[in-house]
A and B are shown apart, each in its own frame.
Chain A
Amino acid sequence: MDTSTEITDTPPPAPQPSVEQKRAARGATRPGDRIFLGLSRGSGIFLLVIMAAIAVFLTYRASLAISKDHGNFLTTFDWNTSIQPPSFGIAVLAYGTVISSIIAMVLAVPVAVAIALFLTHYAPRRLRGPIAYVIDLLAAVPSIVYGLWGALILVPHMNGLFGWLNDYLGWTGLFSWDQGAPRSMLTVGILLAIMILPIITNVSREVFRQVPQMHEEAALALGATRWEVIRMAVIPFGRSGVISASMLGLGRALGETMAVATVLSPDFLIHGSLLNPGGGTFAQNIASKFGEADEFGRDALIASGLVLFVITLLVNGAARMIIARRAEYSGANA
């Protein structure tokens, strides 16, 4: 509309804009738009409220326990909440959680990326669907089933591997073995690796499938072999996606409870060797002690849960930073 006609048409003083005009200016006039806006905004806020509520709950209950802890909460190698004065600390749990997750990631990520590349770039078209389906099934197996399989099948079969590692790598200390039952961090790490393999594989496969044909053709036209195409165009393009996929897997490994509790034979020591039984993780410790703990014991366990919560947040934040640092080179600019 022309400005001059508006002035002549509008008698002074200008009337307040009606409700309809205000809505028109905002652009959200249709009921469908408003409902959807409300729903999506509400969901977003709801999520933040839940996160905040969890943090507040954990912090409050944890503070009750930590204030009465006579040991150092961070460095004590013990978990005595029923004696007076109570003495407990998360050192062993933090070490066990981190080390078992690192083993799981080291084993799972390369295999998962290799499977994803095989499914997207090497496997015959007819096989891609069925193989992906089987991997999906692997993700649907409940963790207690993994735990039972680990305890009944995996543990008895680890002796050979452990003996071999002890013979050839025992001198490092990391792989020395005292012939104890192989219910150790390495066994837990291997089991966790199998458990997080499907999620990392599936997300990576989706990412590799998104690589635009034109980037692969650009590499081919330069005289790249199939592997060089993957190295030049596919992996760099999928890099941030693979990191995100790994974080999803890591999240599961850090918090895995039943499978670890079933396989590990826990104690409250940090063992230099990954092969000797013992140690513990946050989730495993909570699961095995929560049932018989009194009010104070539960607060102490919740305090350890808070530490796990913080570790998970830190790991995710670090991953976000790695992705953001090279954002201007990301495939999203293609």
Chain B
Amino acid sequence: MAKRIDVSGLSAYYGSFRAIEDISMTVEPRTVTAFIGPSGCGKSTFLRTLNRMHEVTSGGRVEGKVMLDDENLYGPGVDPVAVRREVGMVFQRPNPFPTMSVFENVAAGLKLNGSYKKSELADIVEKSLKGANLWNEVKDRLNKPGSGLSGGQQQRLCIARAIAVEPKVLLMDEPCSALDPISTLAIEDLIGELKERFTIVIVTHNMQQAARVSDRTAFFNLAAVGQPGKLIEIDDTERIFSNPSVQATEDYISGRFG
């Protein structure tokens, strides 16, 4: 089931460079939260701290607390591998495994978690592909390579792969920036359906997209290049786009900078 994310005092570093500073926010279960802000403001870095992917980068280091309901993801003895099984992720560029078929791609995460009977596996794969609105397009080519699908289909395949393991939270890092408008629309519709089951956080450069899909919007900014990124404000999407409480947010949204 979807879980609440509660971040407090979080900073992330690349070596000695502090990329984001002192971020605190709460993300309610079964909502969509969009992160917007200019390039380099640290919104992707912050997203990657939520499933402990940031520390995969060499020199990557995190300070602060991320609570997933009652569990601190950065608590002592917490296995990052276990965290990533609870917090799924979809990337900017569709990245199905090129050496696997459509079916194997969706089943990839399940095979890590344990052994399933063939029929069970087939059921979960079908359910996940249906959940990603991809089933009708691929049901006749489950054994064909995943890399043979179109870009938009590949991205939905990646979403199916992520939701197949029933994560509590789904992180999306600019999932539509490599896609055409029609594929983008398909993904946006899908996000609307997925939030019934998951807590969703999405990074986007497209402000219309943030306005269309999200319930809450967080605006990030940085004072200057080389300075750490900061959370400027987070509020209901409607309020952010109509009457934000900080001037910088309004300037960014109305296109006066960034």
Chain A residues proximal to chain B, CB less than 8 Å = 125, 212, 214-215, 217-225, 228, 232-233, 236-237, 239, 326, 328-334
Q: Hey, which chain B residues are within 8 Å of A334, CB to CB?
A: 98, 147
**A224 and B58 contact, CB distance less than 8 A:** no
Q: Please, what's the 1-or-0 string for B67-111, where 1 marks a CB less than 8 Å from any CB in chain A?
A: 000000000000001111100110101011111110000001100
How far, in Å, is A327 (CB) from chain B's closest CB? Answer: 10
Whether a CB of chain A sits under 8 angstroms from the CB of B15 is: no
The verdict on A329 contacting B161 (CB below 8 Å), with A221-B88, A221-B89, A222-B85 known, is: no
Task: State the CA gap A330–B100 with chains docked (Å).
Answer: 9
**A222 and B112 contact, CB distance less than 8 A:** yes
Q: Can you spell out 25 A-B residue pairs with CB atoms less than 8 angstroms apart?
A: A125-B58, A212-B95, A215-B97, A218-B91, A218-B96, A219-B97, A220-B56, A220-B84, A221-B53, A221-B89, A222-B85, A223-B83, A223-B109, A223-B112, A223-B113, A224-B112, A228-B112, A237-B98, A237-B99, A328-B145, A329-B145, A332-B98, A333-B98, A333-B147, A334-B147
Task: State the CA gap A224–B100 with chains docked (Å).
Answer: 16
Using C-beta atoms within 8 Å of the partner chain, give the interface range for chain B: 20 to 34
Whether a CB of chain A sits under 8 angstroms from the CB of B221 is: no
**B165 and A239 contact, CB distance less than 8 A:** no
How far, in Å, is B113 (CB) from chain A's closest CB? Answer: 7
Task: State the CA gap A329–B100 with chains docked (Å).
Answer: 7
Whether a CB of chain A sits under 8 angstroms from the CB of B158 is: yes
* Of B51, B81, B98, B162, the contact of A224 (CB 8 Å cutoff): B81
Task: State the CA gap A17–B235 with chains docked (Å).
Answer: 71
List B1-54 residues whose CB lies under 8 Å from chain A. 51, 53
Q: Hey, which chain A residues are within 8 Å of B192, CB to CB?
A: none
How far, in Å, is A326 (CB) from chain B's closest CB? Answer: 8
Task: State the CA gap A332–B148 with chains docked (Å).
Answer: 12
**B109 and A222 contact, CB distance less than 8 A:** yes
Q: Hey, which chain A residues are within 8 Å of B97, CB to CB?
A: 215, 218-219, 232-233, 236
Q: Hey, which chain A residues are within 8 Å of B82, CB to CB?
A: 223
Q: Hey, which chain A residues are within 8 Å of B147, CB to CB?
A: 333-334
Q: Hey, which chain A residues are within 8 Å of B85, CB to CB?
A: 222-223
Chain B's closest residue to A218 (CB) is B95
Chain A's closest residue to B82 (CB) is A223
* Of B56, B109, B148, the contact of A217 (CB 8 Å cutoff): B56
List B130-158 residues whose CB lies under 8 Å from chain A. 145, 147-148, 158
Task: State the CA gap A233–B101 with chains docked (Å).
Answer: 13
Task: State the CA gap A125–B57 with chains docked (Å).
Answer: 13
Q: Hey, which chain B residues are within 8 Å of A233, CB to CB?
A: 97
Task: State the CA gap A31–B158 with chains docked (Å).
Answer: 49
* Of A225, A228, A236, the contact of B99 (CB 8 Å cutoff): A236
How far, in Å, is A70 (CB) from chain B's closest CB? Answer: 54
List B210-257 residues whose CB lies under 8 Å from chain A. none
Task: State the CA gap A10–B100 with chains docked (Å).
Answer: 58
How far, in Å, is B115 (CB) from chain A's closest CB? Answer: 14
**B99 and A329 contact, CB distance less than 8 A:** yes
Chain B's closest residue to A125 (CB) is B58
How far, in Å, is B92 (CB) from chain A's closest CB? Answer: 9
Chain B's closest residue to A326 (CB) is B99
**A218 and B158 contact, CB distance less than 8 A:** yes
Chain A's closest residue to B101 (CB) is A329
Q: Hey, which chain A residues are within 8 Å of B108, CB to CB?
A: 219, 222, 232
Task: State the CA gap A225–B100 with chains docked (Å).
Answer: 19
Q: Please, what's the 1-or-0 string for B155-189, where 1 marks a CB less than 8 Å from any CB in chain A?
A: 00010011001000000000000000000000000
Task: State the CA gap A212–B101 with chains docked (Å).
Answer: 18
**B162 and A221 contact, CB distance less than 8 A:** yes
**A214 and B165 contact, CB distance less than 8 A:** no
Task: State the CA gap A332–B99 with chains docked (Å).
Answer: 9
**B99 and A239 contact, CB distance less than 8 A:** yes
**A214 and B91 contact, CB distance less than 8 A:** yes
Chain B's closest residue to A334 (CB) is B98
Chain A's closest residue to B109 (CB) is A222
**A222 and B95 contact, CB distance less than 8 A:** no
How far, in Å, is B120 (CB) from chain A's closest CB? Answer: 18
Q: Hey, which chain B residues are within 8 Å of A330, CB to CB?
A: 98-99
How far, in Å, is B145 (CB) from chain A's closest CB? Answer: 5
How far, in Å, is B46 (CB) from chain A's closest CB? Answer: 16
* Of A222, A236, A328, A329, the contact of B84 (CB 8 Å cutoff): A222
How far, in Å, is A149 (CB) from chain B's closest CB? Answer: 39
**B145 and A214 contact, CB distance less than 8 A:** no
**B148 and A333 contact, CB distance less than 8 A:** yes
Task: State the CA gap A328–B101 with chains docked (Å).
Answer: 10
**A217 and B95 contact, CB distance less than 8 A:** yes
The verdict on A329 contacting B98 (CB below 8 Å), with A221-B162, A222-B165, A223-B112 known, is: yes
How far, in Å, is A101 (CB) from chain B's closest CB? Answer: 28
* Of B53, B98, B165, the contact of A220 (CB 8 Å cutoff): B53
